[in-house]
Amino acid sequence: MREGVDYAVVDGKEHIIHAVPEGELPVILPDVKEFKPRDDGESPLASVESWVATTCPICGAPARRETDTMPNWAGSSWYFLRYTDPKNDTALASPEKLRYWMPVDWYNGGMEHTTLHVLYSRFWNLFLHDIGAVPVAEPYAKRTSHGMILGTGGVKMSKSKENVVNPDDVVSKYGADVLRLYELFIGPFDQAIPWDEHGLKGIDRFLKGFWEYFCDRKSVQEKYGINHSQDHPEHESLRRVLHRSIKKITEDIEVMKYNTAVSQFMILMNKLDTTIVSSGDVSSGQKVFLNQEESEKVVTLLAPFAPHVTEEIWHKILGNKTSIHMEVWPTYAPAFLVDETATIVVQVNGRPRATVTAPRGANQAAVEALARVEANVVRHLTGEVRKIVFIPDRLINFVI
């Protein structure tokens, strides 16, 4: 092997590599009719023998062209730029659209992309920036990585360990929504989490309960009227949980805390399932249901997580004609975020002795009456009360 000469090994033999002379550039690629991958791993170009067979530009002997003309990551190193103006047939993209869309706000991918796609795409983008083709030197404003789904017991999935989970098998058994929701609920998005079949069953029960709630709601309202149970005090507590859920789920989605967003759904549905009319009419003891507008908000909240079952409920049970995935995202009313009650610290001479729960906004007289019957407060009120310091919804302090 001669020093300074590039070689390639083909079929166990060494072959000298020569660059195409500058005067013969560019090398025009042939039309390829069949793009199926070859069994030997070669590119489709290798099948075009009339193009592959050529003459060495140095010695004139028979030679063969290199058919591996593009690295595997070439396409993914610039596609995000083309997305800004995909129908442009005269340029990579218009400068105006590149300035509007770039850089990418948030790029999320697997850890293996850190040294492959990110490295290559940043290099390509910087080169294009240096020649004036794109307006930004860095293509991504922010990047995060998702965690890995591990096999049962916390070991990495691999065919050799026979612990790989086939998504098609899960979909066949539980449905796509269960798989999707479980993957979001299984743990923090950026951490490695082991797969657990029991978790799938829990999500399956949750979605079935979600469906049954809206079926029950439809049956009751067909019997009693659309606004049945809306005037009961219990309905106010449902509204509060709903609006808190809208706030939390919206905020969790923004920061990719999907597992806690799903947890909030479960809190919301537990509240919907267990809130009943306590007294006042013949429906006492019956479940309290949300009205049409509120029910639509609940279903819309779950739509990104379970798109299929929510679309079914949206049409078949709630009676809508358009797709739920074209709906405006729900908003919450700040007034419903405030607790109905407040926990108030009771102090004697500045030292906490108890806490009492009172309706929010309760006056000093009402809170003082509650505080004075607390055993630990009574024990420490051994002298004359000279002064009472009261901070509404927060504190009452007896100075003796």
The predicted-structure confidence for 243-256, as pLDDT tens digits, reads as follows 999 999 999 999 99
**Fold classification of 340-399 (topology level):** Ubiquitin-like (UB roll) (3.10.20)
DSSP state letter for 104: B
pLDDT higher than 50, residue 2: no
pLDDT band at 13 (very low <50, low <70, confident <90, very high): low
CA dihedral 375, 378, 380, 384 (to 10 degrees): 170
Compute the C-alpha angle 353/359/365, nearest 5°. 65
Does the pLDDT at position 348 exceed 90?
A: yes
Return the higher-pLDDT residue of 245 and 17: 245
Give the single-character DSSP code of 280.
Answer: S
Look at the domain 197-336 and name its fold: Isoleucyl-tRNA Synthetase; Domain 1 (1.10.730)
Domain boundaries, the chain: 7-64, 75-145, 197-336, 340-399
**Beta-strand pair 149-150/193-194:** parallel
First to last CA, the chain: 99
pTM summary value: 0.67
Q: Given a cut of 70, is residue 278 above it in pLDDT? A: no
Q: And the tokens for 82? A: 């083309």
